[in-house]
């Protein structure tokens, strides 16, 4: 075992189960380990590195801003935050935004906004506001957020949990409408579930949910931390159904794979429930993050990364469906956001990821059953072809080994 791995295992809490590789450098779609071995990154840090590793434009902006002004807190105005928020609001069709750092912080912000809107605008009785989330959801790891998870492992040993959340079957719009009460403030949903295994809801689901929410005066809040900013082949996954949610949560790729940058965006009547003293973040919206975030958005638009994701994602999905392997239970996805579900009776997604790693391709399993493919959006067709050949080869070899045993 690498001494670096041993050191991390000794001093770092074991809250992750990393693949046994030590990465030291990245460029574009590639990363290198401590021994100089090169890998194709088909993970892109859970969609955070959509622009590619060490994107030159982002690195230059980072350097320039770091040499000028990095952080002064929101106690003062800066020249970088306004242009950044204007750009992201105009691109997403939202009125206002509240910048944070991590995705979980942005989700927490959305929860607070929904509850306060419920009391001050909708007129819900004090401390009775409810937020509906979905089965299989993943919105983060804070105690509030895991309170509305239905994954036992996320909750075990961390209670008691705050009340005010209800869980509805993902993909079932009729069930959502039946669950809504006069106390329902918001419906929080991922347009495509990432950690759940790249789960696609039925076509038209999000549009129907929007209609239901409007009918009952309930906020539709879309968590696009993973699916947003080009990952699914459009700027937002909501765009596939022409849905503009009442609230939108962004993160990961917003920081260009360089910094943690997130935000909650919403229509004006929702965001105006925040007044000085009701919410804050020392680092949220700092000049360094705002400069990098603005450049990340500019690159997405100028380099047409959403369009690239759609074209190459369609190609990758089509080619994956041509692979004939009994290990594959199903393939799902949209754009460059794809999951290969492995039949648990025949194989392990973790083992497949480990073998792929040995051959020079990095991915990561989800719930031991799904191999995730979400490369940087700057990947080329030739690089995808190489990955496809390797995936097919590994699946065939593993199936032969299974039959031989």
Distance CA 144, CA 188 (A): 14
> Contact, 367 vs 350, CB < 8 A?
no
| Average of per-residue pLDDT values in the chain | 96
165 is catalytic: no
Structurally, how many domains does the chain consist of? 2
Residues 101 and 142 both lie in one domain: yes
223 is catalytic: yes
Residues 287 and 214 both lie in one domain: yes
Residues 159 and 64 both lie in one domain: yes
Give me the pLDDT at residue 109, please. 98
How much of the chain, in percent, has pLDDT values that exceed 70?
100
Residues 152 and 28 both lie in one domain: no
Residue closest to 134 by CA, chosen among 210, 190, 80: 190
Whether residue 282 is predicted with pLDDT greater than 80 in this model: the reply is: yes
Residues 175 and 294 both lie in one domain: yes
Residue closest to 235 by CA, chosen among 111, 102, 100, 50: 50
Whether residue 402 is predicted with pLDDT greater than 90 in this model: the reply is: no
Confidence of residue 403 (pLDDT cuts 50, 70, 90): confident
Considering the candidates 223, 239, 267, 310, report the single residue annotated as catalytic: 223
Whether residue 211 is predicted with pLDDT greater than 80 in this model: the reply is: yes
Residues 239 and 113 both lie in one domain: yes
Confidence of residue 6 (pLDDT cuts 50, 70, 90): very high
Considering the candidates 252, 267, 310, 364, report the single residue annotated as catalytic: 252
Residues 152 and 284 both lie in one domain: yes
Residues 272 and 368 both lie in one domain: no
Q: Which residue segment(s) compose the domain that 357 sits in?
A: 3-54+304-404
Residues 37 and 150 both lie in one domain: no
Residues 266 and 356 both lie in one domain: no
> Contact, 88 vs 297, CB < 8 A?
yes
Considering the candidates 80, 116, 138, 239, report the single residue annotated as catalytic: 138
Kindly report the CATH number assigned to the domain that includes residue 334: 3.90.1150.10
Strand partners, 9: none
Give me the pLDDT at residue 368, please. 84
> What's the average model confidence in pLDDT over 125-144?
97
Give me the pLDDT at residue 343, please. 94
0.85 cut: is pTM over it? yes
> Contact, 292 vs 65, CB < 8 A?
yes
Lowest mean pLDDT among 6-10, 130-134, 203-207, 366-370: 366-370
**Of 243, 269, 302, which one is at a domain's C-terminal end?**
302
Q: Residues 6 or more apart from 60 whose CB is under 8 A from it?
A: none
> What's the average model confidence in pLDDT over 118-130?
98
**Of 302, 331, 356, which one is at a domain's C-terminal end?**
302
**Of 302, 319, 352, which one is at a domain's C-terminal end?**
302
Q: Residues 6 or more apart from 222 whose CB is under 8 A from it?
A: 189, 190, 191, 206, 236, 237, 238, 243, 245, 247, 248, 249
Whether residue 405 is predicted with pLDDT greater than 80 in this model: the reply is: no
Confidence of residue 323 (pLDDT cuts 50, 70, 90): very high
Kindly report the CATH number assigned to the domain that includes residue 136: 3.40.640.10
Whether residue 39 is predicted with pLDDT greater than 70 in this model: the reply is: yes
Give me the pLDDT at residue 196, please. 84
Distance CA 265, CA 222 (A): 10
List, for residues 220-275, the tens digit of each pLDDT value.
Answer: 999 999 999 999 999 999 999 999 999 999 999 999 999 999 999 999 999 999 99
Q: Residues 6 or more apart from 374 whose CB is under 8 A from it?
A: 42, 43, 44, 46, 47, 231, 336, 337, 338
Residues 252 and 333 both lie in one domain: no
252 is catalytic: yes
Residue that the structure tokens 């009391």 belong to: 119
How much of the chain, in percent, has pLDDT values that exceed 90?
95
Residues 127 and 63 both lie in one domain: yes
Confidence of residue 1 (pLDDT cuts 50, 70, 90): low
């Amino acid at each position: 075992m690498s001494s670096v791995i041993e050191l991390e295992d000794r001093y770092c809490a074991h809250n992750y189960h990393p693949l046994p590789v030590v990465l030291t450098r990245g460029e574009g779609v590639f990363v290198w380990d401590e021994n100089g071995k090169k890998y194709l990154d088909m993970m892109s840090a859970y969609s955070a590195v959509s622009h590619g590793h060490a994107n030159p434009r982002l690195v230059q902006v980072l350097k320039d801003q770091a040499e000028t002004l990095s952080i002064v807190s929101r106690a003062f105005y800066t020249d970088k935050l306004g242009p950044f928020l204007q750009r992201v609001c105009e691109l997403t069709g939202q009125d206002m935004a509240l910048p944070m750092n991590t995705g979980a912080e942005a989700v927490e912000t959305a929860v607070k906004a929904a509850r306060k809107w419920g009391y001050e605008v909708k007129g819900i009785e004090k401390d009775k506001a409810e937020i509906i989330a979905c089965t299989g959801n993943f919105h983060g790891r804070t105690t509030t957020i895991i309170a509305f998870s239905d994954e036992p492992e996320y909750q075990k040993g961390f209670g008691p949990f705050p009340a005010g959340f209800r869980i509805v079957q993902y993909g079932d719009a009729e069930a959502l409408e039946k669950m809504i009460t006069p106390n329902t403030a918001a419906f929080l949903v991922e347009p495509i579930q990432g950690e759940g295994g790249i789960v696609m809801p039925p076509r038209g689901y999000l549009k129907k949910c929007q209609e239901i929410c409007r009918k009952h005066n309930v906020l539709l809040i879309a968590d696009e931390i993973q699916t947003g900013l080009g990952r699914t082949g459009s700027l937002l996954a909501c765009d596939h159904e022409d849905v503009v949610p009442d609230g939108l949560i962004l993160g990961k790729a917003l920081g260009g794979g360089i910094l943690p940058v997130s935000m909650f965006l919403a229509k004006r009547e929702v965001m105006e429930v925040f007044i000085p003293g009701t919410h804050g973040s020392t680092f949220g919206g700092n000049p360094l993050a705002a400069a990098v975030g603005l450049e990340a958005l500019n690159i997405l638009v100028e380099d047409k990364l959403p369009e690239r994701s759609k074209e190459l994602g369609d190609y990758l999905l089509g080619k994956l469906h041509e692979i004939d392997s009994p290990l594959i239970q199903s393939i799902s996805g949209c754009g460059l956001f794809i999951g290969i579900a492995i039949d648990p009776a025949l194989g392990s997604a973790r083992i497949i990821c480990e073998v792929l790693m040995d051959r020079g391709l990095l991915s990561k399993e989800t719930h031991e059953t799904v191999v995730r493919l979400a490369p940087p959006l700057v990947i080329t067709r030739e690089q995808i072809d190489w990955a496809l050949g390797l995936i097919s080869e590994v699946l065939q070899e593993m199936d032969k080994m299974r039959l031989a045993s």
